Amino acid sequence: MRYRVKETKRFEYGYIDTYKSAYLGAKSLKGKILKHDPDNRELHLQFDKKLHGKYLGDRSRFEIKFVSVSTEITDCEILAYPVNPIGQELRFGARNGVVPKVLDAFCASMTNQLEASNTDS
């Protein structure tokens, strides 16, 4: 069984806004920022076993690279996988469906952050 999830999400916003939304989206989901490197367009995150108060069973780590398609379009290349308590990637024994569920919640949170910042402008 493959536990790694590779996905590219496209956002109709510039790089700075997209990066901020990812950072704030992770914080809103109580994610831990492992690597915050806006100059190299990278953000690494880790999420606990709980999401919105529900127990999922595994921790998840995301490695995100931001690629500017144009000044108003940014792709997020996301590599997501389950990790053990000390942060090592799980190769077996992970629960099925946890990482995609956290990824969906994270992308929804990013979208909410982008829409909120767009209405504030």
- Between CA 119 and CA 16 the distance in angstroms is 16
Q: pTM here?
A: 0.90
Domain positions in the chain are 33-87
Say whether pLDDT at 12 is over 60. Answer: yes
How high is the pLDDT of residue 36? 94
Lowest mean per-residue pLDDT among 9-18, 26-35, 73-82, 87-96: 87-96
Q: pLDDT tens digit string along 34-72?
A: 999 999 999 999 999 998 889 988 999 999 999 999 999
Q: pLDDT tens digit string along 23-34?
A: 999 999 999 999
DSSP state of 94: P
Higher pLDDT, 119 or 57: 57
Instruction: Determine what percent of the chain is predicted with pLDDT higher than 90.
Output: 75
Q: Which residue has the tokens 């493959």?
A: 2
